[in-house]
Amino acid sequence: MSTNTDANCIFCKVINGQIPSQKLSDDEHSIAISDLNPQAPVHILIMPKMHVASIAALDSPELTGHLFQKAKKLATELKLEKGFRIVVNTGDDGGQTVHHLHIHLLGGRAFGWPPG
Ligand code: 5GP
Ligand code: ZN
């Protein structure tokens, strides 16, 4: 699997340690970190180590599956039995602000629908 990085990308800097983070998981293909500006009692970002801009730019079913399985595993470990929300903001209309693919795992409170 590619280990592409982008020197100007905030999350690539988190991955290579240039920007400090609170890591919950670190494996060959991904890391999970606490969000800097949490929107719920649990707010974790799961991201691939390789730089890929968004889910729209990711072609690998294996990496897609790995990231979602990781999110689910963390939800189990954090005992989010009452439920949780997984969000993948994509592109401008999707509200994506950091252009390195990441899954938001949110939990610890009830969420409304539809989203804003
Ligand atoms: P997006 O809007 O792209 O879906 O989400 C980006 C998320 O990254 C936001 O929730 C924001 O709080 C978080 N974030 C931005 N910069 C940093 C950072 O340097 N460290 C961490 N841990 N989270 C960050
Ligand atoms: Zn990146």
Which of 26, 45, 92, 100 has the most ligand 1 atoms within 8 A of CB, as the residue to mutate? 45
C-beta of 40 in contact with ligand 1 (< 6 A): no
CATH number for the domain whose boundaries are 10-107: 3.30.428.10
Band (pLDDT 50/70/90 cuts) for residue 58 is very high
Per-residue burial over 41-58, b if 16 or more Cβ lie within 10 Å, else e, is: ebbbbbbbbbbbbbbeee
For ligand 1, atom 16, the nearest C-alpha belongs to 36
Cα separation, 43 vs 51, whole angstroms: 21
Sorted by where each begins, the domain ranges of the chain are 10-107
User: Which pLDDT score is estimated for 3?
Assistant: 61
User: In angstroms, how far is CA 86 from the centroid of its own chain?
Assistant: 9
pTM: 0.97
Nearest ligand 1 atom to the CA of 10 is 19
> Which ligand sits nearest to residue 52's alpha carbon?
2
Q: What is the pLDDT of residues 21-43, one digit of tens each?
A: 999 999 999 999 999 999 999 99
Statement: residue 1 has pLDDT above 70 = no
- As a whole number, the mean pLDDT across the chain is 96
Band (pLDDT 50/70/90 cuts) for residue 63 is very high
